[in-house]
Structure 1
Amino acid sequence: MRLIFAGTPDVAVPALEALIASEHEIAAVITQPDARGKRGKTLHPSPVKEAAQAHGLTVLDPADAKDPEFIAQVAALEADAAAVVAYGQILRPALLAATAHGWVNLHFSVLPAWRGAAPVQRSLMAGDEITGATTFLLDKGMDTGPVIGTMTERIRAMDTAGDLLDRLAQAGAPFLLQSIEALVSGAAVPQAQPEDGVSHAAKLTREDAYVVWDRPAHIVDRQIRGCTPAPGAWTTLPDGSVAKLGPVSPLADGPTGTPGHVFEHDGRVVVATGSTPVALGTIAPAGKKPMAATDWWRGARLGEDAILGEA
């Protein structure tokens, strides 16, 4: 087969590598344009672009995938199908029609659950026990196209969004290739998604990552793991400054008190919640690298009544 690959972040690289290692030809790789770093001076290629160039592949990085010239360029490739993983732009019908068999997207949920930009994060935050990945044909809707196949993955008790996304990306890479091969050969017939069970996974905002300590401990735990590594769960310290938090450990019992009250208990730094306390793992005060909460506590010298999240 002659294939196109579209993707941008690290999570898309395993699927690209699987296609490269297959017997099929990669006509081109489509990715987002180079992005500026935090200081805004240097342009950085996407992880997918770096991987593609390392293999000598043709890379297309349009600023706007709706550009008629770009669509004509893709159509001229005469590809049998395209694979998509976290590309980052909406693909319009004219572009979707530019391959013989369509564009197969690898989405990290079992559709129709968690349609949208942050399926893994929202699934973790909702307390799901099982998630997975779906391959489907892109259409004009948001993750609404007909399904080719699904796979499942159990969510582990200590999974962060980064952990779970990495496992799904690795397992999903050969799954995507198999789905495209089945589609083009006619062995798979895409099926419309059911109308029941639809949920939406909006992109996480900074507000989503702000820890609300008066929620129960298990909810605080899910929120922080769902926001790790990005956008990064955070709270305010008693002086009003911001600190980012790594995953916490809910305690089965322990002293209760005002939600947000931070104190030392049995050699651990714990924070009171709406139920039992949680033990902090790592903390990164503004301008500092993440450190063990116990190290931070020794240097912070907070009073007995210190509260997180009030300022």
Structure 2
Amino acid sequence: MSLRIVFAGTPDFSVAPLKALIESEHDVVAVYTQPDRPAGRGRKLTASPVKQVALEQNIAVYQPLSLKDPDAQSELKALDADIMIVVAYGLILPQRVLDMPKFGCLNIHASLLPRWRGAAPIQRAIESGDKETGITIMQMDAGLDTGDMLYKLHTNINADDSAQTLHDRLSTLGCEALLATLRQLETNSLSPEKQDESLVTYAEKLNKAEAEINWQQPAQMIVRKIQAFNPYPVAFTHFEDKPLRIWQARLLNDDEKSQYQNQAGKVIALSKQGMIIGTADEPLCVSLVQPAVKKAMSAYDFAQARQLSGYQF
């Protein structure tokens, strides 16, 4: 059965599922995405990644400021969709919109619901030290990620995962989960599962202020923050009253740790692998940094050029 699909999404995470639907037997009749936004140093109006794909494929694109607007709702209703697939769209879908398609609206959510409802599930899973995460295909309702769960796929969170690497893996996993869900829909074999409200956690939206590193925290907490906030908003510390972005860091193994005396925030030593910096409990190794208004560079080169051994952050 070929479904008439309206797809709603905006950022890079939404691109792989859109392409998977375009390449499937289903018919993507329209794409909804956020209005073009200023981007880059020139602040030039730029189409979303989803819009760019839709235009390349000659798919009609709609960019309403709100789906609460009656005219926008009339446009959507006229498309006569069997189902609406929503992936990081960024607009609230009123109940009238949720009820329009024959099979309602499905959402690809980047966590194992009910854990990490909300805006930043990938980053919060890493920051909190979760060992696994995954994709949940959810039947949307009027709440925030509260709908019935239809399909799940799991993936481990590796020790060296950043938000970017996990994002890319989950985007691919989302395609697999979505197509499997649509196959079950076609064969009437879906088994909706209610979310256990006692297990709910919320993934609050990221902000730049929380990206500042507190060297009085444990090493593992700091490394998780650095990984969770790569590529946005990027963890940072201050050097000479300017932000120094920290893109990569790792925990030391036992042999390495035994070589150093720990002191929170102090550059204890320099090695070819980076700056060894103390924390609340043990040193860690920062390997990639970005000084203000410069490109990212080796932490060793940065520290060596400025003779930072013994420096106190």
Listed one character per residue, the Cα deviations across residues 172-221 of structure 1 (whole Å, up to 9, x for unaligned) are 11211221332354210322111221101011111221111111111111
Does the residue aligned with 1:167 lie in a helix, a strand or coil? helix
Q: 1:292, CA displacement in angstroms? A: 0.3
CA RMSD of aligned residues (A): 1.4
The two structures have a TM-score, normalised by structure 1, of: 0.95
Q: Does 1:264 align with 2:280?
A: no
Superposition pairs of residues 209-220 of structure 1, within 5 angstroms? 209-220=211-222
Stretch moving more, 254-263 or 102-111? 254-263
Which stretch shifts more, 105-114 or 201-210? 201-210
Matched residue, 1:69: 71
Per the alignment, residue 299 of structure 2 pairs with 293
Q: What is the correspondence of 1:41-120 to structure 2 with a 5 Å cutoff? A: 41-120=43-122
Find the aligned partners of 1:100 and 1:64 in 2 and give their Cα distance: 22
CA contact (8 A) 1:115 1:142 kept: yes
Stretch moving more, 4-13 or 258-267: 258-267
| Counterparts of 2:95 and 2:186, CA distance in 1 | 19
CA distance in 1, matches of 2:49, 2:104: 24
Structure 2: runs of 5+ lacking an equivalent: none
Aligned to 2:181: 179
Residue pair 1:124, 1:226 contacting (<8 A) in 2 also: yes
Q: What SS class does the counterpart of residue 156 from structure 1 fall into?
A: coil
User: Which region of structure 1 is more displaced relative to structure 2, 266-275 or 72-81?
Assistant: 266-275
Partner AA of 2:260 in structure 1: P
- Is 1:278 aligned to residue 284 of structure 2? yes
Counterparts in 2 of 1:217-228, with a 5 A limit? 217-228=219-230
Distance in 1 between residues matched to 2:96 and 2:53, nearest whole Å? 27
Which residue matches 2:243? Answer: 242
> Secondary structure at the residue paired with 1:51?
helix
Q: State the secondary structure of the residue aligned to 2:233.
A: coil
Ranges in structure 1 where 5+ consecutive residues have no aligned partner: none
- Compute the displacement of 1:29 (Å): 0.5
Q: Tell whether the 8 Å contact from 1:81 to 1:180 is kept in structure 2 after alignment.
A: no
TM-score scaled to structure 2, two decimals?
Answer: 0.94
Identity %: 37
Write the distance in 1 (CA, Å) between the matches of 2:25 and 2:243.
Answer: 51
* Aligned partners of 2:262 and 2:268 also within 8 Å: no
Quote the Cα distance in structure 2 between the aligned partners of 1:103 and 1:10: 20
- Asked if the contact 1:71/1:98 (under 8 Å) is kept, the reply is no
Distance, in Å, in 2 between the alignment partners of 1:295 and 1:214 is 25
The alignment of Structure 1 onto Structure 2 pairs a total of residues equal to 306
The runs of at least 4 aligned residues of structure 1 exceeding 4 Å deviation read none
Give 1:274 shift. 0.7
Q: Name the aligned partner's letter for residue 307 of structure 2.
A: R
